[in-house]
């Protein structure tokens, strides 16, 4: 007699901006109870998502590190970049699919929110319809950043724009100029370009840099005063000044 094994579930779990005590109750329960825990990381690094849950995992956990084959070594505009990452995500999908089809649940650790510029989205699109997949929302890094400034990011009818610093400089300047409130992510080596775009938009005095939001080493600095910064873990903010009672 053949036995049918029920599929396990892949859980994309949002961990929030960086502090373990900012996880939701649901995320905390799943992380602590998981036998299989997967997470993305750069080769040779522990991974930011893994660091957030340090000390939370059960003793017999089976860890599944998924190491990016490329980060900044190939320009985003080079077709090889997408080809390389596409093959990587397909391989990660297969690893998780095998486990789920064997009846195992897997928790995939996701920085911030799984559906907000995260790598898990690329797995979700490949896994959906093949095995059960759930998503646990998380506090985004940008929410951690604007709360770190102790200033509301939007008021009344303010329009909030979220942009990537990887955009062309002219496009960045246009979007900075045309919005009420602004978040710029993925700054990295684009910080000099971003500074020029903010200046071209005439909004230098209103711009803030938040480094390591909600993590040890958090630092909040006005852009015009920022000299020594760690741009990879930085988010730029311009607060809205809209209608209020």
Given this model, what pLDDT does residue 210 score?
Answer: 96
Residue 218 pLDDT greater than 70, yes or no: yes
Q: Does 75 have pLDDT greater than 80?
A: no
3-state secondary structure 172-206: HHHHHHHCCEEEEECCHHHHHHHHHHHHHCCCHHH
Average pLDDT over residues 80-84: 81
Instruction: Compute the distance between CA of residue 27 and CA of residue 40 in angstroms, rounded to an integer.
Output: 17
Q: pLDDT averaged over the chain?
A: 93
Closest CA to 165 of 182, 152, 179: 182
* Token couple for 225: 């005063």
SS (H, E, C) the chain: CCCCCCCCCEEEEECECCCHHHCCHHHHHHHHHCCEEEEEEECCCCCHHHHHCCCCCCCCCEEEEEEECCCCCCCCCCHHHHHHHHHHHHHHHHHHHHHHHCCCCEEEEECECCCCCCCHHHHHHHHCCCCCEEEECCCCHHHHHHHHCCCCCCCCCCCEEEEECCCCHHHHHHHHHHCCEEEEECCHHHHHHHHHHHHHCCCHHHEEEEECCCCCCCEEEEHHHCCCCCHHHEEEEECCCCCCC
What would the two tokens of residue 96 be?
């998780």
The second-level CATH assignment, the architecture, of 142-238 is: 2-Layer Sandwich (3.30)
Q: pLDDT (tens digit, 9 = 90+) per residue, 111-148?
A: 999 999 999 999 999 999 999 999 999 999 999 999 99
Question: Which pLDDT does position 79 carry in this prediction?
Answer: 66
pLDDT of 5-40, one tens digit each?
A: 799 999 999 999 999 999 999 999 999 999 999 999
Query: What's the confidence (pLDDT) of residue 28?
Result: 98
User: Count of CB atoms within 10 A of residue 239's CB?
Assistant: 20
Q: What CATH fold (topology level) applies to the domain 10-139?
A: Cobalt-precorrin-4 Transmethylase; domain 1 (3.40.1010)
What pLDDT score does 59 carry?
Answer: 97
* Structure tokens, 200: 């071209």
Residue 156: CA count within 13 A, CB half-sphere: 8
Q: What's the token pair of residue 21?
A: 């005590």
pTM, 2 dp: 0.91
Residue 39 is encoded by which pair of tokens? 């997470």
- Neighbour count for residue 234 (Cβ, 10 Å): 24
- Domain borders along the chain are 10-139, 142-238
Q: How far apart are CA 208 and CA 211, in angstroms?
A: 10
What is the predicted pLDDT for the residue at 96?
98
Q: Order across the sheet with 234-238: list the strands.
A: 160-164, 181-185, 234-238, 207-211, 219-222
């Amino acid at each position: 007699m053949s036995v049918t094994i029920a599929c396990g579930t892949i859980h994309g779990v949002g961990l929030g901006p960086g502090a373990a005590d900012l996880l939701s109750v649901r995320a905390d329960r799943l992380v602590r109870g998981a036998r299989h825990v997967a997470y993305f990381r750069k080769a040779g690094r522990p991974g930011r998502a893994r660091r957030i849950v340090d000390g939370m995992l059960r003793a017999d956990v089976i860890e599944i590190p998924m190491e990016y084959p490329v980060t900044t070594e190939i320009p985003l505009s080079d077709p090889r970049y997408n080809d390389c990452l596409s093959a990587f995500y397909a391989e990660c999908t297969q690893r998780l699919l095998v486990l789920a089809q064997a009846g195992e649940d897997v928790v995939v650790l996701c920085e911030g929110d799984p559906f907000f510029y995260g790598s898990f989205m690329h797995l979700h699109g490949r896994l959906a319809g093949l095995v059960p997949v759930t998503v646990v929302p998380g506090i985004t890094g940008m929410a951690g950043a604007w709360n770190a400034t102790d200033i509301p990011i939007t008021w009344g009818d303010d329009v909030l724009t979220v942009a990537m610093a990887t955009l062309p400089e002219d496009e960045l300047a246009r979007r900075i100029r045309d919005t009420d409130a602004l978040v710029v992510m993925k700054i990295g080596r684009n910080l000099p370009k971003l500074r020029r775009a903010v200046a071209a938009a005439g909004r230098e005095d209103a711009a803030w840099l938040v480094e390591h939001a909600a993590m040890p080493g958090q630092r909040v600095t006005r852009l015009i005063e920022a000299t020594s910064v760690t741009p990879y873990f930085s988010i730029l903010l311009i607060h809205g000044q809209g209608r209020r009672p």
